[in-house]
Structure 1
Amino acid sequence: MKRILLILAALFTSVFSAEFNVREYQTPIIEAKDGFATIIDSPDIVVGSSGVVVHKFDSRKSSIIARVSVTEKGGGFAKVRFEVFDSLEQKALPIPGIMPASGDIVILNYLYKRSLIIVPNKEIYNEVISAFKDMEFIHPDIVGSYLSYEYKPNPSRDDFRKMCSQSAAGLIFIAMNEESLFADCQSFEVLKRFKSGSVAYYQLPFYTRVKDIDTVFWKLGSSKISDFDRHYKSLLKEK
């Protein structure tokens, strides 16, 4: 039985292109207006990808002042939308009161070398880790431990966003029946899809060695997942 599962897992990921190297891209803001900015386009920019805006105070001091998400591209330019950057929020420190402006630097594909990994079973987990050598995957036990502590057997977008922020990860990889993908961990925009094989069996809410991710009656909306694929598809933001 174990051999059959390993063969199925190998077939699952054999269709992957093991290349998913989205390079970090830096460029100055050309124009900022009404919550959006225009930047120079690049093949490294994907609609739905995210990044940060860095403001330079002087020759030695700079700070992240906003998040951005790519909303469109064309004609040699791309448009990004400004969002609040709260990944490094400190309650003792104020949020920078500086609006992004022309000359500030946009860094896209920020933290895209690190990814959460949500897969249905151990065999697929091992195959995915082997397929994407250049990606640093955050072990699912870290997310599983958080969900167990919070009594959340049905992780939400906000749960994953929190885990990505705490783990300094920019992506989330999700493997489902006959389809797998990388999505931006903040916007949940799908960046890259892969056709993959059938899933032999599911561990819910996903593969992790953390046991007893249970619910409690006094916590509303903490019911267990009954359908792996349906739950994770519902979290994705479709174009």
Structure 2
Amino acid sequence: MFKFILFFLVLTLNLFADFDFKVVKTQLLKTEDLYAYVKDDPRIKLNSSGIVMHNFDKSKSIIARASVIAKENGMAKLEFSVFSSLEQEALPLPNILPEVGDEVILNFLYDRAAVIAPDKQSYDEIVNSYPQFYFTHIDILGAQMIRNAQVAPKRSDLRKFCADNAVGILIFALEQKAKFVDCQDFKTLYEVPISKPSSVQVPFYSRITDYRSNFFDFNSQEIGNFYRYYEALIGLDRTNR
């Protein structure tokens, strides 16, 4: 028993040692259409994301999202996509491509997270284990779903929740493991062991109740199995978002 406890503590310490979501600032060294390269760094993790800042004459602005898709030969390869988290109808999206010399800020908003868990036990375990995060309470998402008459969140719902509340990471508490997922790309950043949940609440643990679907929404989804639903949601192909 003592050996098991010691092994678990060592495993946990190793996970914490590799668990670094600090902001990384660097510059674009080379661009190729929707791709670019920056100097590699141990703090740059595969599947992580950030933003590209472009300097104008008298100001600077976010012009794109950047995701780390590969690391090779001392370089990290980035893929660009539209940054729409701060989109406002009164302001147009920047119509400019990233270029050499633009600043890249990786792990953007990675100090802010939200937990999707099946029960209070799992929720509290994760929140209490990672004090380095500012946790936005999942009740906000629950209220959003009640307002929209939904009984199961889609990726688009979670992205909107993250954008509205400046959340960078979603932590999904599954069966004896937790997956740390980029809130926009839904790529898994880390996976760590957790205790087995004692119960299951759908669509997720929150203090919000009485979820009801819109009777006239024939495309509405329901959660049959909590774990299978969120494993599938995380694993969806990027073309089916």
The two structures have a TM-score, normalised by structure 1, of: 0.89
Alignment partner, residue 54 of structure 1: 53
Alignment partner, residue 107 of structure 2: 109
Counterparts of residues 47-196 of structure 1 (less than 5 Å)? 47-58=46-57, 60-196=58-194
Q: Is the 8 A contact 1:190 1:237 kept in 2?
A: no
Counterpart Cα distance in 2 of 1:23 and 1:130: 19
SS of corresponding position for 2:105: strand
Q: Which runs of 5+ in 1 are unaligned?
A: 1-12
SS of corresponding position for 2:157: helix
Alignment partner, residue 30 of structure 1: 29
Q: Is the 8 A contact 2:179 2:189 kept in 1?
A: yes
Counterpart Cα distance in 2 of 1:46 and 1:87: 22
Alignment partner, residue 195 of structure 2: 197
- 1:146 deviates by 0.4
SS of corresponding position for 2:156: helix
Counterpart Cα distance in 2 of 1:175 and 1:126: 11
- 1:238 deviates by 7.8
Q: Which amino acid aligns with 1:186?
A: Q
The two structures have a TM-score, normalised by structure 2, of: 0.89
Counterpart Cα distance in 2 of 1:223 and 1:165: 22
Q: Which amino acid aligns with 2:152?
A: N
Q: Which amino acid aligns with 1:48?
A: N
Q: Which amino acid aligns with 1:44?
A: R
Q: Which runs of 5+ in 2 are unaligned?
A: 1-7
Counterpart Cα distance in 2 of 1:130 and 1:16: 14
- 1:127 deviates by 1.7
Counterparts of residues 199-214 of structure 1 (less than 5 Å)? 199-214=197-212
SS of corresponding position for 1:85: coil
- 1:196 deviates by 2.2
RMSD of Structure 2 on Structure 1 (CA): 1.8
Q: Which amino acid aligns with 2:28?
A: I
Counterpart Cα distance in 2 of 1:223 and 1:156: 9
Q: Which amino acid aligns with 1:156?
A: K
Q: Which amino acid aligns with 1:30?
A: L
Q: 1:225 aligns with which of 217, 223, 226?
A: 223
Q: Which amino acid aligns with 1:61?
A: S
SS of corresponding position for 2:173: strand
Q: Which moved more, 1:16-25 or 1:198-207?
A: 16-25
Q: Is the 8 A contact 1:225 1:231 kept in 2?
A: yes
Q: Is the 8 A contact 1:16 1:196 kept in 2?
A: no
Q: Is the 8 A contact 1:214 1:224 kept in 2?
A: no
- 1:177 deviates by 0.9
Deviations 1:44-86 (A, max 9, x none): 111111100000113x511000011111011110110110010
SS of corresponding position for 1:236: helix
Counterpart Cα distance in 1 of 2:12 and 2:153: 26
Percent of aligned positions that are identical = 38
